[in-house]
């Protein structure tokens, strides 16, 4: 099969083609596994973190991609949950142990044996991939393949961030950054919390316009001051500066949820400029988001189907994965980047 391979970490600022198209053996499903013929795979900023070494794969070469939509091609031994031809998806959570205290408590995203699709196991930048049937999801018919792909990560991690924000309907929510995750989260918030006003901070004018079109109450640049203090803010940026700014916009007792697997280091000194009295005092809280659990993915798909949410996507062929990644790295993209392998 054809696949895009990551063979070594590199700086995408200097290397515009970190992935290489190659012919590799088609995977064979083992006990309890299914083989998917991939139809679409979302492209995520986390792939940049893998490529640039902030969360490097434990082995290389590896096939990236963790927002995978495909049809079941074959069943491994003792696999009974899905039928051949059925459309399913695979998200960032590739497996967890199922035995530890976190798994037993429904927090499998914190499992010490958590394995990530496209990092710890081969993912969906390929014509085929395999996964255990317990970590695949039936995809609602309302979505096309390209629309469904970003819901598996950008949507699901946004949904988890919203739950961690602990915001009540009618309170004010901020979103810093307005890439794929935040642009999917805004319609989810308006559906689940209709009385909540959403304030968006984005450096790109096109993203601010999109936020207002999707129902944001206000949209400003990263350094702008919103017209009211916010009860919670979800940060989806890859850098530190918006984190410091966001803390200053919180109400007393407000919570800042950082939705990023890693942060770039170029502006990390911003953290040293935190003013305790102005930025953290009065019980303001910081919370990080770690991975997703299967519940997040299932709930996001169900909520998005109920709206129904129509993710905005830009499609690329499999061989265009490097170009899609560069679009994300440059920033300012409207919606999600998706590789489309089948018509």
For 18-33, how does the pLDDT look when each residue is reduced to its tens digit (9 = 90+)? Answer: 999 999 999 999 999 9
Are residues 298 and 199 both part of a single domain? no
- Contact call for residues 161 and 259 (beta carbons, < 8 A): yes
- Collapsing DSSP to helix, strand or coil, 37 comes out as strand
Q: Would you call 11 exposed, middle or buried from its count of C-beta atoms within 10 A (0-12, 13-18, 19+)?
A: exposed
Are residues 257 and 168 both part of a single domain? yes
Are residues 35 and 164 both part of a single domain? no
Domain that holds residue 83: 2-153+292-340
Peptide bond into 61 cis (omega under 30): yes
Angle at 156 between CA 1 and CA 221, to 5 degrees: 110
Task: State how far the Cα of 259 lies from the Cα of 182, in Å rounded to an integer.
Answer: 10
- Collapsing DSSP to helix, strand or coil, 41 comes out as strand
* Residue 129 phi, psi (nearest 5): -150, 160
> Which CATH number characterizes residue 88's domain?
3.90.180.10
Confidence class of residue 14 from pLDDT cuts 50, 70 and 90?
confident
For 38-56, how does the pLDDT look when each residue is reduced to its tens digit (9 = 90+)? Answer: 999 999 999 999 999 999 9
Are residues 81 and 222 both part of a single domain? no
Are residues 278 and 309 both part of a single domain? no
Q: What are the tokens at 299?
A: 């709930």
Task: State how far the Cα of 276 lies from the Cα of 231, in Å rounded to an integer.
Answer: 18
Are residues 147 and 296 both part of a single domain? yes
- Contact call for residues 152 and 273 (beta carbons, < 8 A): no
Mean of per-residue pLDDT scores for the chain: 93
Are residues 227 and 109 both part of a single domain? no
Counting residues of the chain whose pLDDT is more than 90, the rounded percentage is 83
Task: State how far the Cα of 149 lies from the Cα of 41, in Å rounded to an integer.
Answer: 6
Confidence class of residue 270 from pLDDT cuts 50, 70 and 90?
low
User: Is residue 268 pLDDT above 70, yes or no?
Assistant: no
For 305-343, how does the pLDDT look when each residue is reduced to its tens digit (9 = 90+)? Answer: 999 999 999 999 999 999 999 999 888 778 899 999 875
Number of domains in the chain: 2
> What is the pLDDT at residue 104?
96
Helix H, strand E, coil C: the string for 237-265 is CCCCHHHHHHHCCEEEEEEEEECCCCCCC
Q: Where would I find the H helices in the chain?
A: 45-51, 101-104, 145-148, 154-165, 180-192, 205-213, 241-247, 294-306, 321-330
Are residues 311 and 198 both part of a single domain? no
Nearest to 301 by CA among 184, 193, 194: 184
Are residues 173 and 230 both part of a single domain? yes
Tell whether pTM > 0.85.
Answer: yes
For 169-226, how does the pLDDT look when each residue is reduced to its tens digit (9 = 90+)? Answer: 999 999 999 988 999 999 999 999 999 999 999 989 999 999 999 999 999 998 899 9
> Which CATH number characterizes residue 209's domain?
3.40.50.720
């Amino acid at each position: 099969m054809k696949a895009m391979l990551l063979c070594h970490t590199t700086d995408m600022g200097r290397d515009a083609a970190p992935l290489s198209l190659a012919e590799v053996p088609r995977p064979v499903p083992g006990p309890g596994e299914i083989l998917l013929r991939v139809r679409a795979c979302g492209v995520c900023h986390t792939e940049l973190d893998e490529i640039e070494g902030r969360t490097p794969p434990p082995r290389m070469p590896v096939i990236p991609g963790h927002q995978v939509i495909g049809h079941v091609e074959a069943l491994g031994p003792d696999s009974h949950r899905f039928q051949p031809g059925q459309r399913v998806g695979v998200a960032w959570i590739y497996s967890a142990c199922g035995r530890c205290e976190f798994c037993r408590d429904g927090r499998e995203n914190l499992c010490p044996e958590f394995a990530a699709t496209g990092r710890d196991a081969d993912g969906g930048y390929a014509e085929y991939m395999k996964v255990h049937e317990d970590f695949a999801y039936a995809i609602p018919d309302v979505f096309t393949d390209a629309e469904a792909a970003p819901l598996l990560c950008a949507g699901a991690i946004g949904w988890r961030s919203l739950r961690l924000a602990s915001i009540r309907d009618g309170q004010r929510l901020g979103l810093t950054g307005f890439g794929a995750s935040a642009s999917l989260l805004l319609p989810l918030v308006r559906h689940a919390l209709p009385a909540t006003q959403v304030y968006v901070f984005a450096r790109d004018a096109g993203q601010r316009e999109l936020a207002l079109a999707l129902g944001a109450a206000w949209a400003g640049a990263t350094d702008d001051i919103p017209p009211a203090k916010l009860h919670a803010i979800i940060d989806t940026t890859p850098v530190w500066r918006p984190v410091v700014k966001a803390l200053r916009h919180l109400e007393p007792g407000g919570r800042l949820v950082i939705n990023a697997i890693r942060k770039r280091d170029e502006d990390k000194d911003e953290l040293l400029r935190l003013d305790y009295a102005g930025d953290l005092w009065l019980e303001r809280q910081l919370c990080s988001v770690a991975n997703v659990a299967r519940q997040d993915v299932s709930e996001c798909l169900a909520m998005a189907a109920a709206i129904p949410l129509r993710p905005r996507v830009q499609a690329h062929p499999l061989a265009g994965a490097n170009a899609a990644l560069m679009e994300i790295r440059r920033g300012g993209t409207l919606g999600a980047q998706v590789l489309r392998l089948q018509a």
